[in-house]
Amino acid sequence: MEVDNQTDKRHSAASDPDVPVVGRGEPFESFVRREGNRLVGLAYALSGSRSAADDLAQDALLAAYRNWEEVGRLDNPGGWVRRVVANRAVSLIRRRVAEAKTLARLDRPRRADWGALSSDTEWIWAEVRRLPKRQTQVIALRYYDQLSLSEIGEVLGCSKETVNTHLRRARETLGRRLDLPGEPS
């Protein structure tokens, strides 16, 4: 009779979502029943999308299933699967941001044909090309591609503050070379 009490205690702990259960040999189906909804909830909290949450949770469970011989023996297989959900959610968000930036750039109005530059414009860009390399890049990305300072920093692999410094120095140099009036003091 004592053995049955032990079994009942383990069973009740496994069915209570607030009681962690040590993995070590737990059947995958039992793990999914216990953790599935919580994984979807975590994925939703991280992604903000119900459909993405379902996909993230399914992907994490598929990864666990493929490696269940190892994952199922971990002290905390739920922690392993939660880490997979969290990592994939970060990847999803990065992918969404990159897609949104690409779509925003595609939606910008088209610029004038560079083959039809006036002599003044050609002269200004010739002066821009005489600047130090990084300043030339910042000016071109800012005024030709119309990128923000943060976007330029991403492209060049530097901080927004560094971009701002290059932009300020380039403007000062171009102002002197092109004999443009300075900023009012």
- The CATH number of residue 163's host domain is 1.10.10.10
32 and 61 Cβ atoms separated by less than 8 Å: yes
On whether both 97 and 165 belong to a single domain, the answer is no
Based on the fold, state whether residues 40 and 79 are members of the same structural domain. yes
pLDDT score recorded for residue 4 = 40
- Among the three residues 107, 135, 162, which one is the final residue of a domain in this structure? 107
**pLDDT tens column, 113-170:** 555 567 777 788 888 888 898 898 888 888 877 889 998 888 888 999 999 999 999 9
Same domain, 30 and 91: yes
Q: Are residues 103 and 125 located together in one domain of the fold?
A: no
Which CATH number goes with the domain that contains 68? 1.10.1740
Lowest mean per-residue pLDDT among 3-12, 59-68, 117-126, 128-137: 3-12
Q: What is the pLDDT of residue 120?
A: 74
Q: How far apart are CA 88 and CA 49, in angstroms?
A: 14
Query: What average pLDDT does this structure show over 45-52?
Result: 86
Provide the domain limits for residue 22: 11-107
State phi, psi for 126 to the nearest 5 degrees. -65, -40
Residues 138, 98 share a domain: no
Distance in angstroms (rounded) separating the CA atoms of residues 140 and 31 = 55
User: For the CA atoms of the chain, what is the radius of gyration?
Assistant: 29
For the whole model, what pTM was predicted? Answer: 0.46
Same domain, 102 and 121: no
Q: What is the mean pLDDT of residues 22-44?
A: 86
Q: Determine the residue type at 74.
A: L
Evaluate if residue 86 carries a pLDDT over 80: yes
Determine, yes or no, domain membership for 85. Answer: yes
17 and 39 in a single domain? The answer is yes
Average per-residue pLDDT in the chain?
79
* Rounded-to-5 percentages of helix, strand, coil across the chain: 75, 0, 25
Domain assignment present for 76: yes
The answer to whether residue 112 sits within a structural domain is no
Report which of 12, 14, 66, 7 is spatially closest to residue 35, judged by C-alpha positions.
14
183 within some domain: no
Looking at the fold, whether 57 and 99 belong to one and the same domain comes out as yes
Residue 125, in any domain of the structure: yes
Q: Same domain for 150 and 62?
A: no
Q: How far is Cα 77 from Cα 72, in angstroms, rounded to an integer?
A: 6
Number of domains in the chain: 2
Contacts of 160 (CB under 8 A, 6+ apart): 149, 150, 153
pLDDT of 76 > 90? The answer is no
